[in-house]
Structure 1
Amino acid sequence: MPSPILAEVDALAARAHAGQHDRIGVPYIEHVRAVAAGVAAFGTGLQMAALLHDVLEDTPTGPDELLAAGVPAAVVATVRRVTREPGTDYRTMLLDIVGDQAATLVKIADNAHNSRADRAAQLPEADRARLAERYRDARAVLWPAVAESDLRTVLAVVNPALLAELD
C-alpha cells in the first residue's frame, strides 16, 4: 500500500480527534496541526508524526490501524515513542523520547504549543501554574537533546516567546 500524502494523514487525525476539544475548548485538531506546523521544516514524515502524536494516547486508534492506513512504519514508531504508556511517569517518558531525534522535535513542538501564553491565560490559575511548571521542567530535558538551530526553527513557528529563554 502506498504511503498516504500529508493531507490524508491530516484527515485521519481529524477523524480520530473528531469531537475532542483541548483544555480551553478549542477543537483538538488545531493543536496537532500547530505541532505539525512547528516541525514542517524537517519534512513530511515528521509532520505526519506530529499530526498523529496524540492519536494513540487520546483515541481508540491503535498502531496497527495507522499501519493499515498506510502510515509509514517510521512515522508510527515516532508516534509510539511520544505516546505516554499507562503507568509511565512523565519524566521517564521524556528521557525515552530524547533518545530519538524525530520524537524529540515533535515533543518540543507539542510542549511549545501547550506553553503559549495566550492559551495558558484561558486556564484556571491552579492549572496554569501547575502546567507551566510541568512544561518548564520538560523543556529542561528536551531542549538540550537537539541542536539549537533546530530548536529555534520549531519555536519560531509554534511559540516565538520561548526564544527569549535561549538568549
Structure 2
Amino acid sequence: MDWVAQARALASEAHAGQQDKAGHPYIEHVARVAAAIRDDDMAKAAAWLHDVVEDCPQHAAQVLAFPAPIRDTVSLLSRHSAADANQYYARIRQHPLALKVKLADIADNAHPRRLLQLAPSVADRLRGKYTAALAALGGRIQPTAAADPAPSRLLQLMDAAQTLTALADEANVSARNGQDAPHPRRAALLKVRDIVLAELEAQMTPQTFVIWSDMYVQS
C-alpha cells in the first residue's frame, strides 16, 4: 500500500476549498510540509495528514485506516491531544516522527515570504507563537546528565537577540549623516548580539535555530 499517495488523496479531499490566512489554497501549505520531508514515508504521509484531524473533523475517522505510526503522529499533532501548550510540545518533542513533521510545519508557516503576505499585527503575533514553539521544541539534547535548556531560557536569549538587532537598526537610522563607515554604536550592539546568537545556537538544535533566525535576525 502506498500510504503517502493515500494520505495525499485524503488531504486533498479534506482540505478542498479551505484557504490559509493569506487567502491561498490551504492544501499548498500541506504539500510544502510534505515535500520538506525526505527519505521517511511514514513522516511524509503524516505530514500530508497533519491538519486533517484538527481542521477537518468530518474526515478524521478516515485517518484510522492508516498504520499506527502515522495515526499516532497525526494524533499528537492535533492540539486537542493535550491539555495545554506545554504538554502538547513536550509530547511532540519526545516523538521523532511528530517532531519531524511539526518542525517542517513551523518552518513553512514561519517563512518570511509567508509572513510578509499578512497584516503586520498578524505576522508579529505569529512570530511570537512560532518563537515559543521553537523554544519548547528546540533545546539541544545534552550528551551528559545536564538538563536541556529550559524554554524560558531560550526565550530570554531569543528576546535579547531580537532587541539588540532592533537597537542596532535604530542606531544606524538615527545616526545617518553621510558617513560611509558603520556607526560605532551599531557595531557594538551587533557585536553583543552576535555573542547572544552564538550562545543561542549552542543551546538549540540546528534546524530550530535556522527556522527562528530566518524569522528575525538580519545582518
Name the counterpart of 1:18: 16
Q: Does residue 55 of structure 1 match 2:107? A: no
Instruction: Check whether the contact 1:67–1:76 (CA below 8 A) recurs between aligned residues.
Output: yes
**Which residue matches 1:112?**
107
Normalised by the length of structure 2, the TM-score is: 0.62
Paired residues, what number?
153
Q: 2:86 aligns with which of 67, 70, 91?
A: 91
Deviation at 1:30, TM superposition (A): 0.8
1:73 shift after superposition? 1.6
* Runs of 4+ deviating beyond 6 Å: none
Alpha-carbon distance, 1:90 to partner: 2.6
* Cross-structure match for 1:72: 67
Which letter does structure 2 place at the counterpart of 1:95? A
Q: Distance in 1 between matches of 2:138 and 2:35?
A: 18
Which of structures 1 and 2 has the larger relative contact order (alpha carbons within 8 angstroms, sep 6+)? 1
Identity over aligned residues, as a percent? 35
Aligned pair 1:133/2:147, yes or no? no
**Post-superposition offset of 1:91:** 3.1
Q: Which residue of the partner structure matches residue 39 of structure 1? A: 37
Gaps of 5+ in 2: 142-203
CA distance in 1, matches of 2:133, 2:215: 16
Say if 1:9 and 1:48, in contact at 8 Å, map to a contact too: yes
Change (3 A) 1:163 1:26: closer
TM-score norm. by structure 1 comes to 0.80
8 Å contact 1:24–1:123 — kept in the other structure? Answer: yes
Give the 3 Å change call, closer, same or farther, for CA 102–4 of structure 1 in structure 2: same
Report the more deviating stretch, 102-111 or 139-148.
139-148
CA distance in 2, matches of 1:91, 1:122: 29
Alpha-carbon deviation of 1:86? 7.6
Looking at structure 2, the residues matched to 101 and 87 of structure 1 have their Cα atoms a distance apart, in angstroms, of 17
Please tell me whether the aligned partners of residues 112 and 162 of structure 1 are also in contact (alpha carbons under 8 angstroms): no
Q: Report what 1:100 is aligned to.
A: 95
Aligned equivalents of 2:33, 2:12: Cα separation in 1: 14
**In terms of mean alpha carbon deviation, does 103-112 or 31-40 score higher?**
31-40
Q: 8 Å contact 1:104–1:145 — kept in the other structure?
A: no
Q: Which moved more, 1:133-142 or 1:90-99?
A: 90-99
